[in-house]
Amino acid sequence: MAAVAYEEEIFDESFGKWWWVLLITGTAWLFLAMIMFRFDLSSVKSIGILAGIVFIGAAVVEFILVATVRGGWWKALNAFLGVLLLVGGINAFARPGDAFIAIASITGFMFLLVGIKDLILAFSNRTGLWWLRMISGFIEIGLAFWASGEFGNKAVLLITWIGLFALFRGIESFISAFQLRSLRKRLTHA
């Protein structure tokens, strides 16, 4: 019986070296959230266009994650969320005047999927700041059901939902950046 020895790559030197990009995206999300919460309700079209910017920005982040995550169904989940967010962004740009009902529906569905994803990530990796991601996931799921309801002043609620979405994406980007940095340090020293 012959024994076959093979070497498996355990650590890729480039793993996690771009962790600071997540800090920049997190900062951009927080600035966008701040802008959304200070927004004037004078133009329905402006609200639709800002929602499109938020959705496309979130899609870009998901596609970056597809490029950086190794294999498996995580890539598929990030790709699916990226496509969903991209479709929502394009829809908001195509019909900004009619965007309220469509964006509210997409926002509710998007919050639900992103919240479920955050809960799965939090419970599957209970290291570091996993509990912040868990809390964020529960809040996003709650916002999903709130966004799906019928409320009187949709414009104010739409701005609130999109601002909260940008706020949670910013927080998640910061958490992911520091988790990636910590993991890179541990792997480098090992």
32-66 tens-digit pLDDT: 888 877 766 666 677 777 778 888 888 888 888 88
Assigned domain for 64 exists = yes
Domain that holds residue 171: 43-189
Helix, strand, coil percentages, rounded to 5, for the chain:
75, 0, 25
DSSP for 43-102 reads -HHHHHHHHHHHHHHHHHHHHHHHHHS-SSHHHHHHHHHHHHHHHHHHHHHH-STTHHHH
Cα gap 36→47, rounded to integer Å: 9
Assigned domain for 33 exists = no
Assigned domain for 25 exists = no
Assigned domain for 36 exists = no
Q: Provide the Cα torsion 96, 92, 110, 162; round to 10°.
A: -50
Assigned domain for 65 exists = yes
pLDDT band at 6 (very low <50, low <70, confident <90, very high): very low
Give how many domains the chain has, as a whole number: 1
Point out the least confidently predicted range of 6-15, 108-117, 155-164: 6-15
Point out the least confidently predicted range of 101-105, 118-122, 144-148, 182-186: 101-105
pLDDT band at 74 (very low <50, low <70, confident <90, very high): confident
